[in-house]
Amino acid sequence: MKYIWIVMLIITEIIWSIASLKDFIKTAKRFKIKYVWNALNGYTVGFIIVHLIALFTYSLYLFIKGIIG
């Protein structure tokens, strides 16, 4: 019970990723590839941006940790 909030975050992440993937596939089938970004729902764009920022932040953290020692 101590780490139940992690399970709740994982469940939310899974639901968010499935919904975003479905939206991306549905939109990509309807529009040409260069117009897909403008036609995506807000939660899909948010999903992509949040994960890119998280990846960049984690990579930067590891880089700085490697430099410092």
- Whole-angstrom Cα distance, residue 7 to residue 15? 12
Q: What is the pTM of this model?
A: 0.73
Instruction: Decide: 33 and 63 in contact? Cβ < 8 Å.
Output: no
Task: With cut-offs at 50, 70 and 90, classify the pLDDT of residue 2.
Answer: confident
* pLDDT single digits (tens) 14-65: 999 999 999 999 998 888 878 888 898 999 999 999 999 999 999 999 999 9
Number of domains in the chain: 1
Per-residue pLDDT at 22:
95
DSSP the chain: -TTHHHHHHHHHHHHHHHHHHHHHHHHHHHS-GGGHHHHS-HHHHHHHHHHHHHHHHHHHHHHHHHHH-
* pLDDT single digits (tens) 32-41: 878 888 898 9
Per-residue pLDDT at 8:
92
Which residues constitute the domain of residue 46? 4-68
Closest CA to 15 of 47, 37, 45: 47
